[in-house]
């Protein structure tokens, strides 16, 4: 397993444990973090803006946690080449406000340099999540 894959796996392991400081240690001081990648920034998904540094990524996780309770990741496939690590996965959770559950598929593309995540693109269908927030 490449060192870059190990970094991404450790990030997910820390998130599974609920260890935010442990996860953030794998993020570079300067980062290009987009989760989810969207041009619409729906109000139901306030965490959907670009983050540029470690402090802003910490805020991303706090904003996400205020709206949803993640209930596990399932990493389906990991592909790595050079500094890129592509992860296909699924996760589920509960919306705090409504108590409704969700489950979705996603793809995350990480760039890792010198043992730190320097870039993230997280792709998933935001329409599904917005619908659950709205009660559709």
Q: What is the 3-state secondary structure (H, E, C) of 48-70?
A: CCCEEEHHHHHHHHHHHHHHEEE
pLDDT in tens, 18-63: 999 999 999 999 999 999 888 888 888 889 999 999 999 999 999 9
| Matching residue, tokens 């998904």 | 45
Banded model confidence at residue 2, pLDDT cuts 50, 70, 90: confident
CA neighbor of 132 nearest in space, from 74, 69, 75: 69
CA Rg, the chain, in Å?
14
pTM (2 decimals)?
A: 0.92
Q: What is the mean pLDDT of the chain?
A: 93
Structural domain count of the chain: 1
* pLDDT at res. 41: 80
| Tens digits of residue pLDDT in 104-136 | 999 999 999 999 999 999 999 888 788 888 877
Helix (H, G, I), strand (E, B) or coil at 5: helix
Instruction: Tell me the sheet residues that pair with 78.
Output: 87
What CA–CA distance (Å, rounded) separates 109 from 84? 7
67: CATH:
3.10.450.50
DSSP 98: T
> What does the pLDDT look like over 53-82, one tens digit per residue?
999 999 999 999 999 999 988 999 999 999
pLDDT band (50, 70, 90) for residue 87: very high
Task: Give residue 71's domain range.
Answer: 3-134
Q: In this predicted structure, what is the pLDDT of residue 1?
A: 53
Give Cα 58 distance to the centre of its chain. Answer: 11
């Amino acid at each position: 397993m490449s060192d870059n894959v190990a970094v991404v796996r450790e990030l997910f392991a820390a998130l599974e444990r609920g260890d935010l400081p442990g996860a953030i240690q794998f993020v570079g001081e300067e980062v290009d973090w987009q989760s989810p990648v969207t041009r619409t920034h729906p109000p139901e998904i306030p965490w959907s803006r670009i983050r540029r540094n470690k402090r802003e990524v910490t805020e991303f996780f706090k904003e996400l946690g205020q709206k949803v309770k993640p209930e596990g990741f399932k990493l389906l496939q990991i592909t790595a080449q050079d500094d890129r690590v592509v992860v296909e996965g699924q996760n589920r959770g509960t919306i705090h406000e409504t108590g409704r559950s969700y489950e979705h598929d996603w793809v995350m593309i990480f760039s890792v340099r010198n043992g730190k995540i320097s870039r993230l693109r997280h792709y998933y269908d935001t329409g599904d999540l917005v619908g659950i927030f709205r009660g559709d």
